[in-house]
Amino acid sequence: MVKKYRSEAFAAIHETMEALHEAGAVDKQTMREFDEGCLAPVQPMPPERIRALREREHLSQPVFARYMNVSKNVVSDWERGVKRPGGPALRLLTVVEKNGIQAIA
């Protein structure tokens, strides 16, 4: 998994903390809290952006839904603003937006 940090400085500091965690100097709970502070949060994705992303990848709603492991109706609802993607689906959409559909294929 490629982590997206708030800045290059956070990335460097996080790398050091991971090394300390591996050496046993930092416990798992502290590492989780540190991750939360360093990693960039996933931003909500409006319906227009989801549709543009799907069209950029030249995929129909049913095919895009298969990649995302959701139903075609869910993709349709996202694109119409009836529902909003959250959690893992939102993270996957962000990955596809940044790296293309091949990143999750």
Q: What's the CA gap between 57 and 30, in Å, rounded?
A: 39
pLDDT of 2 reads 63
Domain range summary for the chain, segments of one domain joined by +? 8-38, 47-103
If we measure between CA atoms, which residue out of 46, 45, 85, 49 comes closest to residue 68?
85
Q: Which CATH number fits domain 47-103: 3.40.50.970, 1.10.260.40, 3.80.10.10, 3.30.70.120?
A: 1.10.260.40
State pTM to two decimals.
Answer: 0.67
Task: Pick 86 or 4 by higher pLDDT.
Answer: 86
**Separation of first and last alpha carbons in the chain:** 14
* pLDDT tens by residue, 58-87: 999 999 999 999 999 999 999 999 999 998
Q: 11-54, pLDDT tens digit by residue?
A: 888 889 889 999 999 899 888 888 887 777 788 999 999 999 99
pLDDT of residue 42: 81
Radius of gyration of the chain (CA): 17
